Chains A and B, each alone.
Chain A
Amino acid sequence: MERFVQTLVDAVSLGSLYALTALGIGLIFGVMRLINFAHGELITISAYALLALFGLPVPVMLFGGILTAVVLALLTERAAFRPLRSADPTTLLISSFAVSFFLQKLLILVVGSRLKGLDLLPELNRQTEFLGVRLQMLQIVTIAISAVLLVGLTWFLKATRLGLHMRAAAEDFRMARVLGVRANNVIATAFALSGVLAAAVSCLIVVQTGTVQPRMGVQLVIIAFVGTVIGGLGSLPGAALGGFLVGAASIMLQALLPPDLRAFREAFVFIAVALILLFRPQGLIPARGLKERI
């Protein structure tokens, strides 16, 4: 029983991380039809910001991490994506690869490619007794932070004027603009929010692994992207669900597969992804009424 609960908490915790990453990708795709692979570099560079600020009070470090990701997200939008706004989605995709490679190589040039240790909030890695089961504190914190961010984002989108503009723009950007919705505001907000989500993921990963390295965001983004696809590209609930399922499935397979097959768990995850797409090519929660981008 205890092992089952532990596995379940593991699954929910990793699922939450992927859900947050997938949401960051899904937000940008929603308003721009851009699959932003540079989202991984937001996660990575935010982690390096934490490293650079190490030694300062933790709230200052966390604030620095978030600020770095948000500013970087806004800069990439301004420099790489705004000039291409009316271009083909393929062009935008290639631009996002370019930004991703550029930032990755720049980081290697500046800080080197070696893994660096960063002992952020080590007390979160302690075991704690929760409802009679011994669990890692970090997993509970990960689930709690993910829940708060999900609820907060939902509230923002549902209850604020800017949130309404973002939802309208995600469905039919041109019509939203005809009604006076400002494209620049909506897109900048989406990028800023994706920066906040990337920073949250970055902090949680750093606490979990105790290390930073220049390619740490890439793997996460590729798997989270798969999550956004099976969830339904353009749908935020779909992105959250898809990301969550990919992460959770990966942990469950690790626990349930016979030991000699565990090394291939990713293969099983992707078989499941292929099957989902075979039966629901539009994703689990498809976006409604996607129209012209701008």
Chain B
Amino acid sequence: MNAPAPLLVVSGLVVRYGVVTAVRGVDLAVGDGEIVSIVGPNGAGKTSLVSAVAGIVAPAEGSITFAGKGLGGVALEDVVVQGIALVPEGRHIFASLTVTENLMLGATIRRDAVAVQADIERYFAMFPILGQRRRQPAGQLSGGEQQQLAVARAMLSRPRLIMLDEPSLGLAPAMVDRVYDLLRAIREQGVTILLVEQNAERVFGLCDRVYVMSGGEFGLSGGATEVKNDPRFDAAYFGVHMRETADLR
């Protein structure tokens, strides 16, 4: 199988918060059009990794390249201009702003007002509940509705890569299904997806490739089916660091 041209390349990434090292020199490549997932338990360093790519935290070491361009020194508000959108953990919707205003903020970097409006209407058609509540403060939406809003908001920047951090956290199973359906729809638009989840079972049916992260490192990685059936999966997930598994990368 020919690997797609890498869109996002992370090499030797180290993220530190004071004396605590959250990410310990990881390498990651996401091909154009792929859905790649990072799974791992709470505290594995997944959010720190995604935050570094999004420009929220500065890496202590290593490099991040997107579409052939280094992201080192790119200001936080310019990362989205490069084509990277983030749906952060906890959604971070603007609770006091209306649903429409939240979506308009997603299109901050765009100047094509007419097309933005058309896109917003398209998302309202896709998520009728958001359309019905377009003038309501987003804080009044349910958790699942807020997640749909957060994904739609991220898509409004028309990104090449969308990163989702724990999109199913705290959602009812039926709502998680809807979020995953949405991710499939996003993929059909040709958008590359980097998905971070604690719930590993969920991602296997959706992703092309999976990285298993624990203790700030990738313990195991490979094609979704390959990782799912790997006897070392549980050990990698729960942080029994088996250096030999690094060979699989």
Contact surface of A with B, Cβ cutoff 8 Å: 164-165, 167-168, 171-172, 174-183, 288-289, 291
Contacts and interface: CB of A to CB of B under 8 A. Distances in A.
Contact of A289 (B80, B86, B94, B106): B94
Contact of B94 (A175, A180, A183): A175
Contact of A180 (B92, B96, B108): B108
Contact of B77 (A167, A171, A182): A182
A128 to B, nearest CB: 41
B101 A180 contact: no
A4 to B, nearest CB: 38
Contact of B105 (A174, A176, A288): A176
A165 B94 contact: no
Interface of B: 54-56, 76-81, 86, 88, 92, 94-97, 101, 104-106, 108-109, 139, 153, 157
- The A interface is mostly helix, strand or loop, or mixed, namely helix
Given A164-B104, A165-B108, A177 B76 contact: yes
A182 B78 CA distance: 9
Contacts of B97: 164, 167-168, 171
Nearest to B96: A288
Contact of A171 (B76, B94, B157): B94
Contact of A179 (B56, B96, B106, B139): B106
A156 to B, nearest CB: 15
B95 A171 contact: yes
Contact of B56 (A164, A174, A180): A174
A181 B109 CA distance: 8
A289 B139 contact: yes
Contact of A178 (B88, B95, B96, B139): B88
Most A Cβ at <10 Å: residue of B94, B106, B153: B94
7 contacts: A167-B97, A176-B105, A178-B79, A178-B80, A179-B105, A180-B108, A182-B77
A4 B95 CA distance: 42
Contact of B54 (A164, A165, A168, A178): A178
Contact of B157 (A176, A180, A288): A180
A180 B88 contact: no
A164 B105 contact: yes
Nearest to B87: A178
A260 to B, nearest CB: 47
Most A Cβ at <10 Å: residue of B56, B101, B108: B108
A175 B238 CA distance: 31
Nearest to A174: B56
Nearest to A158: B101
A289 B197 CA distance: 25
A90 B135 CA distance: 37
B104 A180 contact: no
Nearest to B138: A289
